[in-house]
Amino acid sequence: MKSSAMAPEACFTVLIDSREQAPLTFPASPRSASRSALPTNSCICDGVDLRDVVAIERKSVSDLLGCVGSQRQRFERELCRLAQLRFRALVIEATLNEVVAGTAGRRLTSRQVVGSVLAWTFKYGVEPIFAGDRTNAAVVVATLLHHAARYELAARVGCGIAGPAAEVS
């Protein structure tokens, strides 16, 4: 494995679930993106496959409303899988106000949607991140994956995130 002093973004690949109908696009950077059959978005860094420690679930407003409503059982199974990982997140491509507004004209109330999302925080340890829009969601996902890779690689080689630990005499 390469030294942890090398920044993970130098060889950072975001793995995107091939079933994603509208995958995020990431701004030009040292990162690359690859489609693969995954339950959630994950990454490979420095040639180290991190699918077993990091995953991010991303939802648009309509996806999220479906997950609270008709797709709830399926989505809660996904949250159970996420809960098993060291690094996990739920990134929502909207503000909380936009999610609440999205309930207008639906059988779901804003209280049900907000209550479910917040309950999942405690039940599955997956806190929602309201990114505001798709562009911000791409930045949030890339940043979260970068930090997860950074922390995991540092843990695997036994040093802190700032570099090798000082030797104690």
Answer whether residue 99 shows pLDDT above 90. Answer: yes
List strands edge to edge, sheet with 54-59.
Answer: 54-59, 87-92, 128-130
Mean pLDDT highest for which of 32-36, 43-47, 107-111, 163-167? 107-111
Look at the chain and report how many structural domains it folds into. 1
3 part of a folded domain? no
Domain of 95: which CATH number?
3.40.50.10130
Q: For position 6, what pLDDT does the model report?
A: 36
Burial class from Cβ neighbours inside 10 Å (0-12, 13-18, 19+) for residue 11 reads middle
Answer whether residue 26 shows pLDDT above 80. Answer: no
Q: Which residues contact 165 (CB under 8 A, 6 or more apart)?
A: 158, 159
76 part of a folded domain? yes
Position with higher pLDDT, 157 vs 66: 66
What predicted TM-score, i.e. pTM, was given to this entire model? Answer: 0.78
User: At which residue do the structure tokens 């701004």 appear?
Assistant: 27
Domain boundaries, position 76: 8-157
Burial class from Cβ neighbours inside 10 Å (0-12, 13-18, 19+) for residue 152 reads buried
| Cβ atoms of 46 and 78 closer than 8 Å | no
Confidence of residue 4 (pLDDT cuts 50, 70, 90): very low
Strands 48-49 and 54-59: unpaired
115 part of a folded domain? yes
Q: For position 169, what pLDDT does the model report?
A: 45
Arithmetic mean of pLDDT, 128-132? 97
67 part of a folded domain? yes
Confidence of residue 110 (pLDDT cuts 50, 70, 90): very high
61 part of a folded domain? yes
Arithmetic mean of pLDDT, 93-101? 97
167 part of a folded domain? no
Burial class from Cβ neighbours inside 10 Å (0-12, 13-18, 19+) for residue 30 reads exposed
168 part of a folded domain? no
169 part of a folded domain? no
Confidence of residue 30 (pLDDT cuts 50, 70, 90): very low
Arithmetic mean of pLDDT, 62-70? 95
